[in-house]
Amino acid sequence: MESFRSLTVTQRDQILVEQQVFDIFKTFYNLPPSSQSFMLELQRENHVEYLTKGLTGLSPSFCVLDANRPWICYWILHSIALLDEFVDPELENNTIDFLSRCQGPNGGYAGGPGQMPHLATTYAAVNSLVTLGGDKALSSINREKLYMFLRQMKDASGGFRMHDGGEIDVRACYTAISVASLLNILDDELVQNVGNYILSCQTYEGGISGEPGSEAHGGYTFCGLATMILINEVDRLDLSSLTDWVVFRQGVEGGFQGRTNKLVDGCYSFWQGGIFALLKRLNSTKEVKPIPLGDGEGSGEESPQTTTSSDAAGEEGLNGDLSLGGSHSEIGDQHNTSSQDNVIDIDHNHSKGHANVEPLFNSLALQQYILLCSQELNGGLRDKPGKSRDHYHTCYCLSGLSVCQRSWLEDEDSPPLPRAVLVVSRSLGFRDLWVQNVR
């Protein structure tokens, strides 16, 4: 074992985080079951309180986000929606009014009233309004002008600039294309060459970078993949190497890192975790005939067992300490009280033959990271232990949690299956669930 001093910066930083995370897990495992149950609860009320407060007032330190206010709206509104809550009508109206003041006279939305329109804040504003829904919110969007703005941001390379004279990258492509798609103003002019640009950003690692040549990165990989799907060119990507890259972005902590050998961060629960949801959807729409996942091998027809409760119940719960099962009144859409008798213990190692519906990432591990390491009991979620909560991380940690809970579903609109939701089933002993022996 090398002395601490001879370790590289990467190794040292990683060990420090692992220690913190494993301390939390160890503490958790030593708690009585009732406390463990509490630790795995999603603190809905506290999260909603934290979020709603942000909507109505922000401290002076937020002046560094003064050019990102539609983003703050989106992070808050989307999180509230994920928690199945609503914003009161007055706040709704105020939001619609405020965002209208961010809308530029020539289309698009800026970071605040009087600022230049920007693709990212346009994305945030449009998605905020769509999340609110309803006539007033949707009709406040000037679709014709927005289209003109997108056309102006389009670059000859196929990519888009974030704003007039701004930077071009994969993020800009995603924000532009996704908004155009959402508002039904996507046309050939906007789509032209976007695929080529994104393709040039898939790196030798398999992930996608922000610009051609840069490092493969979770945020840009999500943006790139989503865009290719929206413009119907996803088969041009090397999906098997993309899949292989993202699968290895999940670490021993259970959460995801943004790049190879970097530290875990709660927000990648969505940027990386969401990639699996996209890939799964691609696979399922291809179920009609076996279509290769980029390398000539069929994937759609073997072992067509779907995992049903009765299948899972047959498995002996041997090592299923943290189980997926039951319905916990605090998690997901279910509001029936949980009964420990309904709980099904699944050893995640023994789900052979369920590859069709089981997600390719470790949903159990990710939920454990989000709930135990990212969640602040007072409300809000964060990057990792030791960091402060913020609205951005609250949004993407919760989004990642939602991806986990829906990861077994064929139909995205159904509520989560009981067995997809992480709960405590019985007395737990300390176990290193995913520390690899071969490290």
Query: Which residues in the 84-103 window bind other proteins by CB under 8 A?
Result: 90-91, 94-95, 97-98, 101
Q: Is 335 a catalytic residue?
A: no
134 vs 353 by CB, closer to other proteins = 353
Tally Cβ neighbours within 10 Å of residue 376. Answer: 16
Task: Write out the binding residues for other proteins, residues 117-176 only, by CB under 8 A.
Answer: 118, 162-167
Task: Write out the binding residues for other proteins, residues 186-205 only, by CB under 8 A.
Answer: 203-205
- Kindly tell me the burial class for residue 2, based on how many C-beta atoms sit within 10 Å of its own C-beta (0-12, 13-18, 19 or more): exposed
DSSP-assigned letters across all residues of 81-123: HHTT----HHHHHHHHHHHHHHB-TTSSBBSSTTSPB-HHHHH
* Per-residue exposure over 228-254, b if at least 16 CB sit within 10 Å of its own CB, e if not: bbbbebbeebbbbbbbebbeebbbbbb
Q: Is 383 a catalytic residue?
A: yes
Q: Is 262 a catalytic residue?
A: yes
Q: Considering only 189-197, 349-357, 409-417, 420-428, which stretch makes contact with other proteins by CB under 8 A?
A: 349-357
**CA torsion angle 46 52 58 64 (round to 10):** 90
299 binds other proteins (CB under 8 A): yes
368 binds other proteins (CB under 8 A): no
304 binds other proteins (CB under 8 A): no
Helix (H, G, I), strand (E, B) or coil at 292: coil
Task: Write out the binding residues for other proteins, residues 33-72 only, by CB under 8 A.
Answer: 54-60, 62-69, 72
Residue in 84, 155, 187, 302 binding other proteins, rule: CB under 8 A: 302
User: What are the helix (H) ranges across 188-264?
Assistant: 188-191, 194-199, 218-230, 239-247
Task: Write out the binding residues for other proteins, residues 213-232 only, by CB under 8 A.
Answer: 213-217
User: Pattern of binders to other proteins over 305-344, x per CB under 8 A?
Assistant: ----------------------------------------
436 binds other proteins (CB under 8 A): yes
The end-to-end CA distance of the chain, in Å, is 12
Alpha-carbon span 259 to 241, nearest angstrom: 15
Task: Write out the binding residues for other proteins, residues 260-289 only, by CB under 8 A.
Answer: 260-262
Q: Is 352 a catalytic residue?
A: no
Residue in 252, 275, 404, 422 binding other proteins, rule: CB under 8 A: 252
Q: Considering only 9-17, 34-42, 265-273, 419-427, which stretch makes contact with other proteins by CB under 8 A?
A: 9-17
Alpha-carbon span 362 to 367, nearest angstrom: 9
Residue in 5, 289, 335, 352 binding other proteins, rule: CB under 8 A: 352
Q: Is 268 a catalytic residue?
A: yes
9 binds other proteins (CB under 8 A): yes
119 vs 231 by CB, closer to other proteins = 119
3-state per-residue secondary structure call for 364-386: HHHHHHHHHHHECCCCCECCCCC
394 and 49 Cβ atoms separated by less than 8 Å: no
Q: Considering only 147-155, 267-275, 298-306, 419-427, which stretch makes contact with other proteins by CB under 8 A?
A: 298-306
Alpha-carbon span 197 to 147, nearest angstrom: 20
Shortest approach of other proteins to residue 297 CB, angstroms?
4
| Residue (of 282, 435, 433, 289) closest to 367 by Cα position | 433
Shortest approach of other proteins to residue 258 CB, angstroms?
9
Q: Is 393 a catalytic residue?
A: yes
Residues with catalytic annotation? 217, 259, 262, 265, 267-268, 383, 390, 393
